[in-house]
Each structure stands twice: as structure tokens, then as C-alpha cells.
Amino acid sequence: MTPARDPYTIALAAGGTGGHLFPAEALARELIGRGVAVTLMTDSRGAKLRESVSGLDAEIVAAGTIGAGLKGKIKGLAALTRGYFQARRLLKKMKPAAIVGFGGYPSVPSVLAARHLGITVILHEQNALLGRANRLLAAPGVRIATSFPEVSRLPAAVGTLETGNPVRPPFSALRETAPAPVPVNGHGRFHILVTGGSQGASIFSNVVPQALAQLTGPTRARISVSQQCRPEDLERVRALYEAAGIDAELATFFSDVPERLARAALVVCRSGASTIAELTVIGRPAIFVPYPHAMDDHQTANAKALVSAGAGWLMPNDAFTPASLAARIEMLLALPQNLADAATRARALGRPDAAAALADMVLGSSSPARAARPEEAPASLKTLRTADSAP
């Protein structure tokens, strides 16, 4: 007999990079705010969230990627196996009503153990292409919350609901108060934000300063730049901007990225899931340079989703040159209405309610009595599609 579940306890499985942890953190805050007990099953990085999220419990579960070669495969499988049995013990004690997996290998042992124990499983996919961990964990009876209207490689036998990708509160708080992104009369300051994410920022240090230096003098005089750089690039990039007479603020890390994003007329960035969600919640257009070594090239899929909606422009790594970037920026400054339109389209894609929609899905899936009658179900649950009910 399946043990009784505590309807007010939800487990989250996430770890690794911020792209997996940020939405887990946002959902934890939402659920805790509703009086739900939340335990995060994670790695050492994720465990630090219990220090910043009041009421969040965290348990470290072993996990590892399946590395190259025989030794790497054995080591990875051993870590996953150890984590699986740790997770089983924790879940039997915890008896959660559901578990939400956020992708990445740190989520695999906990979600797999939950599936085998008969616990309701919901997977959250941040990207426009279903990640490898979620593809491994998806099975009949599992539901997937998506961040994009269309997601590649979704299995046919699972239910899906587009909830969006939750962002951290400082970003969503600026949605209604952010200023107009660009003056459409061709005058005024033009602020560019350049962020490289956690990987591959050197290409921005190499290309962006040279591109902006190629702009005409009047154009350069209008520009101000905020750019994240690797430590080894800082002084070189600063010298390039000074020589070009461009107002630039450089740092390895900005603590006020939400405010800088809200001031930006244009963003030059990678196209990771969190970046996409933050851009669309605030409503800012971007030139996307997808990280070419991302798993399954999912960053290109993310960028194409926004480009197809008219919310930005795609420049693959090999096409991202000083000359091509300078030409693009000159064109955008000459036709500022195009930037304003792209900002509007980006904002239309934003989901400031993503954490609430995901929480509705989780609680509705784990406690059917709360949504027994369709008219009482959260609006987001009414659109839940399954392979059996889809037309």
C-alpha cells in the first residue's frame, strides 16, 4: 500500500547552476508564502538557499554526471546510485505530496526515487528544448511545466502546462516601473547592458568594445555601457572604451543587474533560460549570442523562440564580429522604433506570474480535492493538456 502523503509538504529537486536553482527558489518562496512546507533536495550549492529563503529546509543528495570513458561512467553511476538510496530514505520519512524536478543531474536521484515510490512527479523545463535529465525522468503519469509555448523533444505520453520560468523578485518587481527602453525621437542616452553569464564571457570582451569603437562619433557620444567582464579582461576592455571615448562601467559582477536591465535600451547576452525570463519579464530587446557548447545547443533554441516573436536578434558565435555588431547597432539607433517594438514584444512574452502558476499546478496535481470542480480550479490548471485529452 502506498503510504499516505502529507498534502502540505512539497519536495523540490534542483542543484548545479543558477538556471536550475533560480526557478526552484522562486517556487519555494511562493509555496512557503502559501503555508506549504518545502524541502529542497539538492547539492552543496543549492543547500545555501536555506540561508536566504526563510522556512526552506534542504537536504544534500549525492549526484554526478556520467563522464567520459569507463572510469567516468563508473564514478557517475556510483554517485547517482548512492544519491538514489539517500533520496528514497529521505522521501519515505518526508512523505511529500509531490516532488518538482528542475532538470540537471542533481535532480535525477531524487525524482527517480520519488517515481518508484509512487509520489506525484512534476518536472519544470526552463528551456525551449527538453533537457537530458528531464528526458530521462519523463514517463507516463509525469507532468511537465514548460517555460516556452513550444518545447522540442517532449514525449507524447506526458501532460504539459506552460507556466513560464519563475524569476527572482527583484526582476518581477521592476516590470511595472521600468522606464521606456529607448527614446524614439533619436535623441537622449542609449544604454547597452552586456552580460556573459557564467560561461563564455570573453567573446563579449573581445567583440563589443571594438564594435562600439567603429560607430560614428555622434553615435558613440550617445552611448553608455555596463559590461560584465572576466577579471583577466577588465583592464584591456577599459582601455579600449577610454580610447574610443565611450562611457563604460565594467565589473566582474554587478549586484544591481535588475536595475541595469531596466535602464537598458539594448542587451547583448547569451540566451540561457534565466536570462530569457528576466528580459521578458522586464521587457527588453536583446542581441542573442548563444553559448555554442551548451547541452544540445538549447541556447540557440531559446534565442530563436524570441527572435521569431520579434523580441530580439540572433548572432551566432561565428557571425558575432566587431563589424557585424557595429552595423546592427548603427541600424537600431537609426531606427529606434524597431527597438521600442522589440521591447514591447519581449514584454508580451514575460510571465511575472510564473511562480504562482507553477505553484497552482503543483498543488492542484498533488491534492486533487482542492480542484474537484473545474470552476474552482486555478485558471492555469484549466489549460492542462495530456496526450489522452489533446484534440
Gap between the Cα atoms of 349 and 148, Å rounded = 9
Q: What percent of the chain has pLDDT over 90?
A: 69
What does the pLDDT average to over 143-166?
A: 93
User: What is the β-pairing status of strands 266-269 and 286-288?
Assistant: parallel
CA distances from 262 to 12, 75, 149, 282 (A): 31, 45, 25, 7
Tell me the whole-structure pTM to 2 decimals.
Answer: 0.87
For the cut 60, the answer to whether the pLDDT of residue 380 exceeds it is no
Q: How confident is the model at residue 365 (pLDDT cuts 50, 70, 90)?
A: confident
Q: What does the pLDDT look like over 18-50, one tens digit per residue?
A: 889 999 999 999 999 999 999 999 998 888 898
Q: What is the structure's pLDDT at 385?
A: 36
Cell of 255: 549586484
The 3-class secondary structure across the chain, one letter per residue, is CCCCCEEEEEEEECCCCHHHHHHHHHHHHHHHHCCCEEEEEECHHHHHHHHCCCCEEEEECCCCCCCCHHHHHHHHHHHHHHHHHHHHHHHHHHCEEEEEECCCHHHHHHHHHHHHCCCEEEEEECCCECCHHHHHHCCCCCEEEECCCCCECCCCCCEEEECCCCCCHHHHCCCCCCCCCCCCCCCCCEEEEEECCCCCCHHHHHHHHHHHHCCCHHHHHHEEEEEECCHHHHHHHHHHHHHHCCEEEEECCCCCHHHHHHHCCEEEECCCHHHHHHHHHHCCCEEECCCCCCHHHHHHHHHHHHHHCCCEEECCHHHCCHHHHHHHHHHHHHCHHHHHHHHHHHHHCCCCCHHHHHHHHHHHHHCHHHHCCHHHCCHHHHHCECCCCCC
Q: How confident is the model at residue 6 (pLDDT cuts 50, 70, 90)?
A: low
CATH domain 6-166+352-383 topology:
Rossmann fold (3.40.50)
Gap between the Cα atoms of 336 and 65, Å rounded = 46
Q: What does the pLDDT look like over 52-96, one tens digit per residue?
A: 899 999 999 988 666 666 676 677 778 889 999 999 999 999 999
Q: How many CA atoms lie within 13 A of 31 on its CB side?
A: 34
N- to C-terminal Cα distance for the chain? Answer: 35
Q: What does the pLDDT look like over 323-354, one tens digit per residue?
A: 999 999 999 988 888 999 999 999 999 999 99
Which position has the higher pLDDT, 363 or 70?
A: 363
Gap between the Cα atoms of 200 and 229, Å rounded = 10
Architecture field, domain 172-348: 3-Layer(aba) Sandwich (3.40)
Q: What is the structure's pLDDT at 8?
A: 80
Every domain of the chain and the residues it spans: 6-166+352-383, 172-348
Q: How confident is the model at residue 183 (pLDDT cuts 50, 70, 90)?
A: low
For the cut 70, the answer to whether the pLDDT of residue 140 exceeds it is yes
For the cut 60, the answer to whether the pLDDT of residue 152 exceeds it is yes
Q: What does the pLDDT look like over 205-220, one tens digit per residue?
A: 999 999 999 999 888 9
